[in-house]
Amino acid sequence: MADQISLTFPDGNARDYPAGVTAAEVAESIAPSLAKRAISASLDGRHIDLAWPIETGGAIAINTMKDDGPALELIRHDFAHVMARAVQALWPDTKVTIGPVRDQGWFYDFDRTEPFTPEDLGSIEAEMKRIIAARDDVRTEVWDRDRAVAYYEQRGEPFKVELIDRIPGDEPLRMYWHGDWQDLCRGPHLQSTGQLPADAFKLTHVAGAYWLGDASRPMLQRIYGVAFRNRDDLKAHLTMLEEAAKRDHRKLGREMDLFHMQEEAPGQVFWHPNGWAIYTTLQDYMRRRQRAGGYVEVNTPQVVNRKLWEESGHWENYQHHMFIVEVDEEHAKQKTINALKPMNCPCHVQIFNVGLKSYRDLPLRMAEFGSCNRYEPSGALHGIMRVRGFTQDDAHIFCTEDQIEAETKRFIEFLSAVYRDLGFESFRVKFATRPEERAGSDEVWDKAESALMSATRAAGIEPEVNPGEGAFYGPKLEFVLTDAIGRDWQCGTHQVDFVLPERLDASYIGEDGAKHRPVMLHRATLGSFERFIGILIENFAGKLPLWLAPRQVVVASIVSDADDYVHKVVAALQQAGLRAEADTRNEKINYKVREHSVGKVPVILAIGMKEVENRSVSMRRLDRQGSETIDLDTAISQLSAEALPPDLR
């Protein structure tokens, strides 16, 4: 090991230090003021603790609370430890497990006989603030395995013993102390509990969680918290959560009578007429868009023999997400093993393989509104956002290597236009690289990742890298939408795949007369209809654009003498292609308006005797004050134009 190492700073300057120097000492060497503000460092892109010895040279940056990413990671990670310490201070018999950073905060899983209550969360918060006020030092040591196992066995912490067994042998076992409380952790952490912003966190709720996500293991109690750098950011987040609760698609789904779910079909959606109207309108729109985009539409079987899934690699890499179907075939000596398709890709290759394909046939863009089924743990299911049965707007583009760039650019333009039509003006793109468990050689993956990155940059996009999150057969682009209240939703995907065409023996005749493997581009724009409709409902708070609204117009009578005219107006609106209905109940007009406003009907036409006499309507718009009286023909013309889907305008 070298006695001296060279560290290069963000400004390009480099300095030599003795091997084993800590980031804290590096910060002190630059300026005492920086050392006081330092919270961690980044070494060649890896987040490290100020107290860790640095044995090899590289590019280093000293992080302070002004650096969003590192600061929030440390704040949330330290809050997880402080919360666990507070829980064990209040209930010493509680066993601790793991507490990772997630989303806007963290969670920590506990093994405790008594359930936590909302009042308990308040007590834990108070104890956390006391710990922060104590400003205890945070320190770390590296222990050997035998010592760590003996330590946790002596303290009666079996979950920590199991975690040690799961940590690879070449990884150091880091033991962190926050004051006199200790936890096994990879780090990094802040240098003192007093660095945490005591007014910028909140414990939100408790949920059940199986140990390591395994339903055969003990059920634990998971406490969730959120944390930010300051009180204002916390307040903004809590306001967003309140708004999100109002927009919850499950709540709005009931109010708008869109769908329901029940225990006899977990993770499956029962679409009501109003919800199905949204679904089919969106599907019709996508069908027209895809046809105009040069796609041919196909449909493939729901139940497919195990053999195909083995050939494609799904049986080995994806079986835990598949529903297995055993069939007693007539005269068969053993049951035939099938699976409900979790995705459409292998079936599309089967269509491609029928008949001889030429290079002149490429690119071949093959689309399917494919109904798929994937096993999700019951605890992960969430309304129509996370389901077991869903339909994808799925497509696969069979092309040559030379066509990857053009087809990627073409798809990004296609997706951008669709998202704009649906109310999302911009999106982010993430580049998901090879996962640990994958099919295909490193050489093939190098080629796929290089091709996709080059194509993405050629389309004018520099994506964020999402390491290890690619599909088992290829890297992918993930398109992330931001909704009206600032939440991110990963929807569309685009993947380059050299593996499946090889495994499933797809080929085309090239210009040279020889057989060649096509490249397979997997792409989805919306993702699943179920989830995307949930996103739309929450983005618009149920107030969908007129063309997507399931009930576009309600014509409501003010007096019963106007009923005949109400039905004539409804018939004229329906003739013009609008989804219109009559409300001639013997109720006051204000009652009707309130009820239909709760149901998020965009337009209510009120009809009294004045409107009958003048052949007019009194038009009320959702969330607008007052109404306007206009001629019936004018109203029909305006609403018909407004209700046209964006691609038909």
Which residues participate in catalysis according to the annotation?
A: 345, 374, 392, 394, 396, 476, 522
Distance of alpha carbon 427 from alpha carbon 464, whole angstroms:
12
Residue 596 is labelled as binding a ligand: no
- Residue 82's closest CA among 167, 195, 173, 158? 195
Distance CA 334, CA 316 (A): 22
**Angle value at C-alpha 18, between 12 and 21, nearest 5 degrees:** 85
Give the separation between CA 197 and CA 229, rounded to whole angstroms: 6
Long-range CB contacts for residues 5-13, cutoff 8 Å, separation at least 24: 5/54, 5/55, 5/56, 5/57, 6/57, 7/54, 7/57, 7/58, 7/59, 7/60, 8/57, 8/58, 8/59, 8/60, 9/59, 9/60, 9/61, 10/59, 10/61
Q: Is 345 annotated as a binding residue?
A: yes
* CA neighbor of 582 nearest in space, from 560, 617, 557: 557
| Burial profile 157-192: b = 16 or more Cβ within 10 angstroms, e = fewer | bebbbebbeeeeeeeebbbbbbbebbbbbebbbbbb
Compute the residue count for the chain: 649
Please answer whether residues 382 and 253 qualify as being in contact, where contact means their C-beta atoms are separated by less than 8 angstroms. no
Residue ranges of E strands in 19-69: 21-22, 38-43, 46-48, 53-54, 58-64
* Nearest alpha-carbon partner for 202 in 233, 222, 225: 225
* Residues making up the binding site for Zn(2+): 345, 396, 522
